[in-house]
Structure 1
């Protein structure tokens, strides 16, 4: 007898046994020993089938759950990145607004009080070869910007315009060695000349200070406006040290600028000034 016929005969036999059990069960309370054995066998088979079905379902569902978890993780990662980008942009807008507010306050406050007419401009570029040499601003001849105009921030002197196009202008910073600013010690009116220092990290050097006039660290240096293209009275920096120059005829001082040239993003160009009262 082949395997197929044997399986078929076994199935038929089980069906007959179940039928006999159903017929003979009427009126009986307790099952016979063979019936109990068959019931136990079928219960075990049902439990095994249930467990096998649950296992197959878990095996099939596990890769799907991993796929869903991976997709959800990617969605959350993209959402976090998007929110971080929005937060960074919001922070940048806030900082820019704070800087522009300071410029606006200066334009409507000290600048007006001193008779200065100023135009705000943004820093569009810097000299890659010398960070403390020149900057490019996003205003030019079409905005009324001309060469030799003084460039400032609310904190102090930045430099002067040395070249212009219709839409941009190049500003020579006071930290450049080619720059020279006629200056005064504010407290004592001691004159001198402020120059940039080659190879320095944005520091200044005040020279030609008369050696018989009082100069000391902590004093403020401002533009003198005397025989100079720079507007008078613009803060430059603070004296940090004083010594005699190599000739012994003058004093010289190191000056820390008030403007942070590392973080220069917006400036004001002095486009005009009311004449001083006679």
Structure 2
């Protein structure tokens, strides 16, 4: 208690001394006053630094939380922008495919007098990717069984059943499919069938023994009176040839022009117009 009283008296004396000096209009502070001012300034700086450090320590966890929240917000924003970019890309690709369909309808299709209805693929046979597809056009849009289905690249298949708003298409890659065909340049006839386990390839059989074919030749539909497919539709390209087990005919593996793995839109041939005279 005595020590505290002693320090209080000393501080009071110093304060009175400074006041007296100030009262007489002196500008300069005595040496003792300078020493005390410097001492108090040092203490004040130390206290200020300690206060800042304590504030930083206390607010650091909250800064981490805010930084984490900001990083999460930025990550979600990036994900959203990437998703929107992918959607734009998907719309662009769809527009390109639809443009090719429209160009085909107004180009080769118009010159060959085909009446076409565009449709989107909305389903596939879950048991076999190369068996059947479902399209979003049906009886209400004039689609009937046995109508030919194509793309600008070539033959897809034929309609085998319909509902009011949908239709099922048997692909030419299905083993149940049979297409009367011929080699485009030599006019060699044959029958194109789907291959079980053929990964989407086709099998051309009954090629006459005296009319051999070779790899690289193009196969098209023959359009005979017994065929349900219209004439001249590209089917695929021959990739290999050999004799059949009987030795009476040749047979060939044909790679279709249509990429059935990426089939999203098709054209249904709803009719064939008579050419104007």
Q: Is the shorter-chain TM-score for this pair beyond 0.5, marking a shared fold?
A: yes
In 2, the alpha carbon distance for the partners of 1:168 and 1:11 equals 101
In 1, the alpha carbon distance for the partners of 2:65 and 2:14 equals 48
Q: Are 1:65 and 2:71 an aligned pair? A: no
Cα 1:15–1:265, aligned 2, differ >3 Å: closer, same or farther?
Answer: farther
Q: Are 1:235 and 2:234 an aligned pair? A: yes
Which residue does 1:53 correspond to in 2?
Answer: 51
Out of 131, 134, 137, the residue aligned to residue 133 of structure 1 is 131
In 2, the alpha carbon distance for the partners of 1:12 and 1:110 equals 112
Q: Are 1:35 and 2:58 an aligned pair? A: no
In 1, the alpha carbon distance for the partners of 2:91 and 2:28 equals 86
Which residue does 2:188 correspond to in 1?
Answer: 190
Which residue does 1:20 correspond to in 2?
Answer: 17
Residues 128-167 of structure 1 aligned to structure 2 (within 5 Å) = 128-167=126-165
Q: Please give the secondary structure, in 2, of the residue aligned with 1:214.
A: coil
Out of 209, 212, 221, the residue aligned to residue 211 of structure 1 is 209
Contact kept in structure 1, 2:131 and 2:174, CA below 8 Å: yes
Structure 1 residue runs of 4+, over 4 Å off?
5-13, 275-278
Residues matched between the structures, number: 274
Which residue does 1:263 correspond to in 2?
Answer: 262
- Which has the higher mean CA deviation after the structures are superposed, 18-27 or 222-231? 18-27
In 2, the alpha carbon distance for the partners of 1:87 and 1:166 equals 36
Quote the offset at 1:60 in angstroms: 3.6
- Which has the higher mean CA deviation after the structures are superposed, 12-21 or 168-177? 12-21
Contact kept in structure 2, 1:188 and 1:214, CA below 8 Å: no
Quote the offset at 1:42 in angstroms: 1.2
TM (normalized to structure 1)?
0.91
Q: What RMSD over aligned residues (CA atoms) do the two structures have, in Å?
A: 2.1
- Which has the higher mean CA deviation after the structures are superposed, 70-79 or 129-138? 70-79
Which residue does 2:93 correspond to in 1?
Answer: 95
In 2, the alpha carbon distance for the partners of 1:99 and 1:42 equals 82
Contact kept in structure 1, 2:212 and 2:250, CA below 8 Å: no
Out of 87, 103, 106, the residue aligned to residue 105 of structure 1 is 103
Quote the offset at 1:200 in angstroms: 1.5
Which runs of 5 or more residues in structure 1 are unaligned?
none
In 1, the alpha carbon distance for the partners of 2:5 and 2:150 equals 102
In 1, the alpha carbon distance for the partners of 2:166 and 2:4 equals 95
- Which has the higher mean CA deviation after the structures are superposed, 187-196 or 11-20? 11-20
Quote the offset at 1:82 in angstroms: 1.6
In 2, the alpha carbon distance for the partners of 1:11 and 1:63 equals 42
Q: Please give the secondary structure, in 1, of the residue aligned with 2:158.
A: strand
Quote the offset at 1:22 in angstroms: 3.2
Quote the offset at 1:64 in angstroms: 3.6
Cα 1:140–1:16, aligned 2, differ >3 Å: closer, same or farther?
Answer: farther
Cα 1:12–1:270, aligned 2, differ >3 Å: closer, same or farther?
Answer: farther
Q: Please give the secondary structure, in 2, of the residue aligned with 1:135.
A: strand
Which runs of 5 or more residues in structure 2 are unaligned?
none
